[in-house]
Amino acid sequence: MKKICSLLLLSLCCTAVLQAQVTPSAEKILYVKKNVSGGTGNGSSWANAIPELADALRWAREQYIANNNWLTGDSLRIFIAEGTYKPLYDADNSRYQSDGGRDNAFVAIDRVYLYGGFPATGNPGMNERNWKTYPTVLSGDIGVPNDYADNVYHVLITVNLQNTRIDGLRITGGMANAPSLQTAISIKSTNIGHTRNGGGGLFAVFDSNTLKVSNVEISGNRADYAGGGDIRSALSLSNIIVRNNTATEWGGGFYFAAMGPTGSYTLTNTLFTGNTAKYGGAIISQINALALVNTTIVNNTASLGGHGIYHRATPGAQITLANSIVWNSVPNAVRIIDSLGGAPFAISYSIVQTATVPAGTGNFNSDPLFTNVAGGDYTLSDASPAINGGSNQLWNSANNIDVLDLAGNSRIAGNAIDMGVFESQTVLPVLFGSWKATIKNGQLVFDWSTETEVNNDHFLIQLSQDGVKWTTVQKIPTLAAGGNSSIPLTYQSSIPLTALSLGVSLFFLGAMAFKSRGQMHAIMTAALLFALFLSCSKKEPLSNIGDGKLFARLMQVDKDGSARASKIIQVVQE
- pLDDT value of residue 444: 92
Quick check: 405 pLDDT over 50?
Answer: yes
State the Cα–Cα distance between residues 250 and 247, nearest whole angstrom: 6
Least confident residue range of 140-149, 174-183, 411-420? 174-183
466 vs 516, which has greater pLDDT?
466
- pLDDT value of residue 101: 94
| Structural element, H or E, at residue 113 | strand 112-118
- pLDDT value of residue 4: 37
How confident is the model over 75-118, as pLDDT tens digits? 999 999 999 999 999 999 999 999 999 999 999 999 999 999 99
Mean pLDDT over all residues of the chain?
85
Quick check: 544 pLDDT over 70?
Answer: no
- pLDDT value of residue 397: 79
- pLDDT value of residue 412: 85
Least confident residue range of 59-73, 143-157, 181-195, 245-259? 181-195
How confident is the model over 326-338, as pLDDT tens digits? 999 888 878 999 9
- pLDDT value of residue 133: 96
144, 160, 290, 337, 344 from 284: Cα distances, Å: 31, 22, 10, 10, 14
pTM, rounded to two decimals: 0.81
The three-state secondary structure class of 282 is coil
Least confident residue range of 161-165, 224-228, 505-509? 505-509
State the Cα–Cα distance between residues 185 and 65, nearest whole angstrom: 16
480 HSE (CA, 13 A, CB side): 26
User: Per-residue confidence at 469, pLDDT binned at 50, 70, 90?
Assistant: confident
Query: For the chain, percent helix, then strand, then coil, each to nearest 5?
Result: 15, 35, 50
Strand partners, 30: 78
Quick check: 524 pLDDT over 50?
Answer: no
| Structural element, H or E, at residue 66 | helix 53-66
- pLDDT value of residue 470: 87
Strand partners, 337: 309
Using only the alpha carbons of the chain, give its radius of gyration.
29
CA-closest candidate to residue 218, choices 292, 275, 279: 275
Question: Which range scores top for mean pLDDT: 261-270, 420-429, 523-532, 547-556?
Answer: 420-429
| Structural element, H or E, at residue 523 | helix 519-535
CA angle 216, 222, 227 (to 5 degrees): 60
The three-state secondary structure class of 166 is strand
Quick check: 165 pLDDT over 90?
Answer: yes
Least confident residue range of 6-10, 300-304, 390-394? 6-10
227-252 mean pLDDT: 94
Quick check: 519 pLDDT over 50?
Answer: no
State the Cα–Cα distance between residues 238 and 268, nearest whole angstrom: 5
| For the chain, percent of residues with pLDDT exceeding 90 | 58
| For the chain, percent of residues with pLDDT exceeding 70 | 85
How confident is the model over 269-287, as pLDDT tens digits? 999 999 999 999 999 998 8
